[in-house]
Structure 1
Amino acid sequence: MKKNKENNTEKIMELLGKDEALLFFDQPKISRERLHIPGPNTINEVFGMSDRNVPVLINLSRIYNHGRLGGTGYLSVLPVDQGIEHTAGSSFAPNPDYFDPENIIKLAMEGGCNAVVTTFGGFALHARRYAHQIPFIVKLNHNELLTHPNKYDQVMFGTVKEAWNLGAAAVGATIYFGSKESNRQLTEVAEAFEAAHELGMATVLWCYLRNGDFKTKEQDYHTAADLTGQANHLGVTIKADIIKQKLPTCNGGFRDLKFGKTHPDMYKKMVSDNPIDLCRYQVANCYMGKIGLINSGGASSGSSDFAEAAKTAVINKRAGGCGLISGRKAFQRPMGEGIELLHLIQDVYLNDAITVA
């Protein structure tokens, strides 16, 4: 971290509290020189030599150049698909205004986001008014969670062509890597992403893990750096342009659960137990950062949300990630507070004093 204090550095340090040391970590196992660092020329440097067609480049530019972080190479995205994923009642009870999807779009716009993610139904009612004002990312699939007993599967709720008709800049999808249904989801999403690219839309993949055996009495490995990192690597393989992943909280999933292929250097030379190093391993699996990693903001915890958001943004930025995709912490509170939280996240990425480790 540079010594100069500007752009709300003192406020961010205050929010970090005992985690202030994250700002000064300077011994990453994978050096920053190996990474592609997010910046104003990201699209030219990464996608300019790719197979992405001109309309895809235009839509990527729309996303990367919109909002308060426009032109920086960093992203702040508002995702609201929890009405399906977690039931609408539980998601919107803290602020019933968001049963109306127009308020989701308004929050993203007022919050200075690069893009807004929500469902086919939410966008369909408001496309003509807002599609030209903020980039839409249409979520293609969901886990509906109304089946009893619940099953952890992602099913398509619409088509890529429908998303294109809504004026979407990108489509998003989830794969539950590790689940019984993951092979089908992988095939479906790969085909959908190819169709989206053909129509000129960018692609965003939620690379989540779902397997009961990944959680033991001692540890939940659904957020292990090695497992989530491999999920990211599978995601970039099917040509996701942006990867969404949960922030890692541990490591050693392959090793401790005794499956998959490992190498001793995975745990000795590539990763330490520092949160920035754990996240950097996720970045490394996104083709050394050429495909941007956005970490999720997680559930709302109430009064600690601002501190948690600042910490997550600092870890992601210092690890070499390209931003945050934060929903519940923003929309499960009054709109003014949600805007303030989104601006706080963006201030971390706008702050030149907070550098890549």
Structure 2
Amino acid sequence: MRLTDTVKGILANYGSDNPGTKANLARMLMTGRLAGTGKMIILPVDQGLEHSPARSFSVNPAGYDPLYHHQLAIDAGLNAYAAPLGALECSADAFPGEIPLILKVNHSTSVYRNNEAPDQAVFATVGDAVRLGCSAIGFTIYPSSDQQFAMYEEIAEMCREAKAVGLPTVIWSYPRGGNLSKAGETAVDIDGYAAYIAATCGAHIIKVKLPSDHIEQPEGKKAFEAGNIDISTQAARVKEIMRSALGGRRIVIFSGGAAKGADAVLDDARAIRDGGGNGLIIGRNSFQRPYDDAMALLGGLIDIFLGKVQ
């Protein structure tokens, strides 16, 4: 595997990491149809645990089988496949080495009742990720939750443990809970803050939602106005999120969000590309479609990041 100059440039931003961690980052960046471009598309399938299997898979019953998702990620030429412990224990041995794996180590459920203090439980360990041949671990934090500081302490410790054995960390940074409004969960000032918090926790790859043009905090509004920060388009807002991730020195990928039409998903990808984002992590908008439709959509997304289509 010969690294491209683009990938070498990205890895140079992780100078404090050991060769094992950088090798695993390189493996993800050099896999699939986007190999070597510095762009990534990852398939995450943790929704069965987060929302319930019926809500996640009944629309496309093939999705009840974890091997279906693993195969879909390979067939589509994606960079990595992310899933919980049980799913990877079912599928890892069926596709050894065919695509980088990300073990999602913490999760919540739809029957947890505390909206002000959303939290996640740790289901898996760094040792599980090593045992399953994973290339990274994944961890969710909820900036603004009344449980946020405990979550930061958890991931800081787990991130150190992962780095020690050569595994990168992907942080899902989703503001919610506490005094944050619903609109504030995707506000551009809060989204950038979430990216910065994840980077500060030690993330190698940061997953955030696409930001809206809403500004949640009054002091944030003053800062955006004083700095003449452009948030007029989705691409401009993506650019601001990238800048918030340590000046663009961390990989940032954006969530595909709730189920939507194919045209809307493709428009999101264009905005991410044009704003300098590193890519997408797209779950429900791919695996809830029939296989052929999912393959067509994922292929279209890849073509956008390759610059084959506008």
TM-score for the superposition, normalised by structure 1: 0.81
Equivalent in the alignment of 2:268: 312
- Counting only pairs closer than 5 Å after superposition, residues 128-207 of structure 1 correspond to structure 2 as 128-148=93-113, 152-207=118-173
Cα shift at 1:205: 0.7
2:229 is the alignment partner of 1:266:
no
Closer, same or farther: CA 82–274 of 1 in aligned 2, 3 Å: same
Opposite residue 228 of structure 1, the aligned amino acid is D
Contact 2:239 2:276 in 1 (8 A): yes
Equivalent in the alignment of 2:235: 276
Cα shift at 1:250: 2.2
Cα shift at 1:280: 1.3
Closer, same or farther: CA 263–98 of 1 in aligned 2, 3 Å: closer
Equivalent in the alignment of 1:94: 59
Contact 1:43 1:57 in 2 (8 A): no
Opposite residue 326 of structure 1, the aligned amino acid is I
Q: RMSD over aligned Cα, in angstroms? A: 1.9
Closer, same or farther: CA 149–246 of 1 in aligned 2, 3 Å: closer
Counterpart-to-counterpart distance in 2, 1:72 and 1:51: 23
Cα shift at 1:42: 4.2
Closer, same or farther: CA 56–340 of 1 in aligned 2, 3 Å: same
The structure, 1 or 2, with the larger RCO (C-alpha pairs under 8 Å, 6+ apart) is: 1
Please point out which of 301, 304, 310 is paired with 1:345.
Answer: 301
Closer, same or farther: CA 352–267 of 1 in aligned 2, 3 Å: farther
Contact 1:226 1:281 in 2 (8 A): no
Larger radius of gyration, structure 1 or 2?
1
Please point out which of 180, 198, 206 is paired with 1:235.
Answer: 198
Counterpart-to-counterpart distance in 2, 1:314 and 1:326: 14
Counterpart-to-counterpart distance in 2, 1:231 and 1:92: 29
3-state SS in 2 of match to 1:293: strand
2:45 is the alignment partner of 1:80:
yes
- 1:71-103 CA-partner distances (Å, limit 9, x unpaired): 111001111100011111101110111111000
Please point out which of 322, 327, 333 is paired with 2:289.
Answer: 333
Closer, same or farther: CA 265–138 of 1 in aligned 2, 3 Å: same
TM-score for the superposition, normalised by structure 2: 0.93
Closer, same or farther: CA 290–40 of 1 in aligned 2, 3 Å: farther
Counterpart-to-counterpart distance in 1, 2:9 and 2:298: 28
Counterpart-to-counterpart distance in 2, 1:134 and 1:47: 20
2:11 is the alignment partner of 1:47:
yes
Cα shift at 1:292: 1.4
Cα shift at 1:146: 2.9
Equivalent in the alignment of 1:6: none
3-state SS in 2 of match to 1:61: helix
2:250 is the alignment partner of 1:294:
no
Contact 2:185 2:191 in 1 (8 A): yes
3-state SS in 1 of match to 2:173: strand
3-state SS in 1 of match to 2:174: strand
Closer, same or farther: CA 296–147 of 1 in aligned 2, 3 Å: closer
- 1:144-201 CA-partner distances (Å, limit 9, x unpaired): 2334567621110111111111100011110011001110011101111111111111
- 1:114-133 CA-partner distances (Å, limit 9, x unpaired): 00011111111222222311
Cα shift at 1:263: 7.2
3-state SS in 2 of match to 1:324: strand
3-state SS in 2 of match to 1:126: helix
Paired-residue identity, %: 32
Counterpart-to-counterpart distance in 2, 1:236 and 1:352: 31
Opposite residue 329 of structure 1, the aligned amino acid is N
Unaligned runs of at least 5 residues, structure 1: 1-38, 256-260
